[in-house]
Structure 1
């Protein structure tokens, strides 16, 4: 009787994702890479039972993402009672388009001799073009209600399950009014066609955004009952005050570390700023890598504005630093120009918590490093002298910590109030230090990038290392140090029992 041992293989290794384009005689491979995750398809263990030498090759045409799934193996397990090899087709079909399971020769012929390839343009409207080195790229965008946009998204959505932890592919068979709320941004490289009939477009990545209505009542008017005509006139969602939420964001591994993530994010942000109906840009469950990319882009955008308005911490919000009276609350409006900052936030349409992160990072950067924890400042002595410290930069650093603590406490008040006072103080201190460490890493990376003349654009700069394929989705559980913003209130026993909780802590 055959043994079951040795018949399982790693699903991440077995799946090969390939981008192809026409060649001289048959399609040629542009890039091949493995998925980051396969548990949505093959289970938590990410193992496939019943095959030896298994290769599951997912092919995508570079221009229109025409898919094909080809399965090959050396041996297949012969059933023993109820034990049998995994049915690969049944397992893959809920995630891969039906058209992908056709004949390989027919697929290769369709890619090689596509009569529409030469005239192919990405669906939607052209948004922006940009260069990286001597290579040219374009961003196109269109509503999900557009059948061509929907077709491309349907073809590529299997990558959501393979590269975004806990990512969920979009339902594209919803009513048109719902699909109109979605916009899909495609990033393409403009290439020299490999054959006379081939396309000049090659996929780089894509993002999806969702528009949802934000109620804004005119506070100057008292609520009244109005007798108007019924039925009400038709209202288009696109004309209502709305927030835009980035839901999915993918840059192919063959194009990572080149600045495309930053370019795509800033393109989406610019579109929001230009749209008078958009109130705010938000992100759905970003992981740490996307947080870092977003922080970099937003900081680069806001820093000149902060400098223009001379935004800085007031080291003496109550007058002379030597005063003896202890302030009972953090004097926020005396420390920073709150009205100016609110105007900046609303004009750039940045969500409140994200704006607070960027502001805190900027204010920290305005304090000389020798007066910050990263520069070796004597924190114990500062905590004794507090706002009475002799050096104004020490006082700025003290007030910076107090402002950050205040924000953290307000956001997590209910959680923190469950702790004893000493434990609460300890948790806040530890979290502020984590936040500061994350900011320092981002500030150092930004400084290095500036000193290198923006090297991130050619694939070697510090920005690129944050720009991985898994840029938006549920947190990846990465142990990356760059952005340590997790306020953790757990018993030691809980932490040992549930390590998965690391990916589910509230963002601060």
Structure 2
């Protein structure tokens, strides 16, 4: 049966098509299409969809307000009467669980609704506006960042549509509890002028930030979810968005520092870039002081000026010291590597001290069952591998600082 029905199993990622639509012309333009990076959070762990021939799933969003169209088409569908009771997967049923209410399944209705997008204006307060000059010499592009809270009129309905993108691009994503008024939102739009002279907005990126309480009367904002939509990647928009978040919070005396919830490797690299660019001109991070090692002065200036916590300030120090180290100078490069490796090895040294304490209070057989069998050579290999991966990440950040 598996061999016979194998052609009715497709990878959900291969049959899904997304668009951000301004007009009916965009629907016919293949260049406006983009696909998901994952679909297991909707269609299950194996990401397969069963029961259809020539399946296509279309999720089109009006570019500004994200009014949604769902189209499901196929040439044939399995008949339970002819397949021993096997049924095709309920595609719309699964999508209905995650799509915001109000989506349409009639394409003509969706196209007619696009007229309403002409008057769409971003919700909230304008924080930041900037231009990007394309590398191909084309016209400059303008982007704007807006700040919203749960109480911002009209925003939560828009956010309910916006957050659906998380499921296709952020692993282990979850929808946030918007009943908690400590959530804040930062949205980014591309702003364009039409040939008729009107202004249109296209959703490009967004971030959510939760304002945690910090004793006794402070806040510790934590960046939670950050997403740049595929058509707007490789433009430097995420760095601009992170900087806008910083600029919003660093002027607030009640904010201690800004943290990030479980950052991905890509986001950590962007965070490192923004923080290193910001701290590079602080007196504590002057090249002469970098070679003296990480200092309380660096941690204090990074926090007071840019709300960077101590752990992240240490990464910034390591990035900027590497940037200023002549790696052709064997001794200078060796001193740098040892400094970073000592920091990487600190948790394991702490664990060794704890094991020595245990050895004094446990019976020999109990201690033998507890102690790690990792040898010195294996520890050295782990540390070396960990350092090389970290230096590679740092060099990517430094390259961006130097060239962009």
Tell me whether the two structures share a fold, i.e. TM-score over 0.5. Answer: yes
Counterpart in the other structure of 1:209: 209
Counterpart in the other structure of 1:145: 151
Distance 1:411 1:153 in 2: 45
TM-score (norm 1): 0.68
Question: What secondary structure does 1:141 align onto?
Answer: strand
Counterpart in the other structure of 1:59: 60
The structure carrying a bigger helix percent of its residues is 2
TM-score (norm 2): 0.84
Question: What secondary structure does 1:204 align onto?
Answer: strand
Distance 2:291 2:160 in 1: 49
Tell me, yes or no, if structure 1 residue 361 matches structure 2 residue 312. Answer: no
CA shift, 1:308, in A, is 3.9
Distance 2:279 2:29 in 1: 44
Q: Is the contact between residue 408 and residue 428 of structure 1 (CA under 8 Å) also seen in structure 2? A: no
CA shift, 1:426, in A, is 4.6
CA shift, 1:443, in A, is 4.2
CA shift, 1:362, in A, is 2.6
CA shift, 1:18, in A, is 1.0
Q: Is the contact between residue 205 and residue 227 of structure 2 (CA under 8 Å) also seen in structure 1? A: yes
Distance 2:222 2:315 in 1: 18
Change (3 A) 1:201 1:304: same
CA shift, 1:108, in A, is 1.2
Question: What secondary structure does 1:65 align onto?
Answer: coil
Equivalent position to 1:284, from 254, 257, 261: 261
Deviations 1:218-249 (A, max 9, x none): xxxxxxxxxxxxxxxxxxxxxx4111111111
Structure of higher RCO (CA pairs closer than 8 Å, 6+ residues apart): 1
Q: Is the contact between residue 19 and residue 61 of structure 2 (CA under 8 Å) also seen in structure 1? A: yes
Structure 2 gap ranges (5+): 134-139, 359-369
Change (3 A) 1:160 1:393: closer
Counterpart in the other structure of 2:101: 98
Counterpart in the other structure of 2:342: 402
Deviations 1:440-472 (A, max 9, x none): 3344334544554x2xxxxxxxxxxxxxxxxxx
Counterpart in the other structure of 1:68: 69
Structure 1 gap ranges (5+): 217-239, 315-334, 372-376, 378-390, 455-508
Q: Is the contact between residue 296 and residue 446 of structure 1 (CA under 8 Å) also seen in structure 2? A: yes
RMSD of aligned alpha carbons? 3.0
Q: Is the contact between residue 54 and residue 74 of structure 2 (CA under 8 Å) also seen in structure 1? A: yes
CA shift, 1:8, in A, is 0.8
Q: Summarize the alignment of residues 218-233 of structure 1 with structure 2, pairs less than 5 Å apart.
A: none
Tell me, yes or no, if structure 1 residue 433 matches structure 2 residue 391. Answer: no
Q: Is the contact between residue 325 and residue 332 of structure 2 (CA under 8 Å) also seen in structure 1? A: no
Q: Is the contact between residue 187 and residue 264 of structure 1 (CA under 8 Å) also seen in structure 2? A: yes
Distance 1:89 1:415 in 2: 56
Tell me, yes or no, if structure 1 residue 341 matches structure 2 residue 298. Answer: yes
Tell me, yes or no, if structure 1 residue 188 matches structure 2 residue 189. Answer: yes
Q: Is the contact between residue 279 and residue 302 of structure 2 (CA under 8 Å) also seen in structure 1? A: no
Question: What secondary structure does 2:185 align onto?
Answer: strand
Q: Is the contact between residue 299 and residue 310 of structure 2 (CA under 8 Å) also seen in structure 1? A: no
Distance 1:163 1:182 in 2: 21
Distance 1:412 1:190 in 2: 57
Counterpart in the other structure of 1:44: 45
Q: Summarize the alignment of residues 109-188 of structure 1 with structure 2, pairs less than 5 Å apart.
A: 109-111=112-114, 113-114=115-116, 117-133=117-133, 134-172=140-178, 174=179, 178=180, 180-188=181-189
CA shift, 1:286, in A, is 1.2
CA shift, 1:405, in A, is 2.5
Runs of 4+ in 1 over 4 A off after TM superposition: 23-30, 391-397, 407-422, 425-428
Change (3 A) 1:426 1:311: farther
Change (3 A) 1:445 1:200: same
Distance 1:171 1:192 in 2: 36
CA shift, 1:395, in A, is 4.6
Name the count of aligned residue pairs: 381
Change (3 A) 1:300 1:292: same
Q: Is the contact between residue 18 and residue 30 of structure 1 (CA under 8 Å) also seen in structure 2? A: no
Q: Is the contact between residue 280 and residue 320 of structure 2 (CA under 8 Å) also seen in structure 1? A: yes
Distance 2:45 2:112 in 1: 37
Q: Summarize the alignment of residues 271-350 of structure 1 with structure 2, pairs less than 5 Å apart.
A: 271-305=248-282, 306-308=284-286, 310-314=288-292, 335-338=293-296, 340-347=297-304, 348-350=306-308
Counterpart in the other structure of 2:137: none
Distance 2:54 2:196 in 1: 34
Change (3 A) 1:261 1:45: same
Counterpart in the other structure of 1:499: none
Question: What secondary structure does 2:5 align onto?
Answer: coil
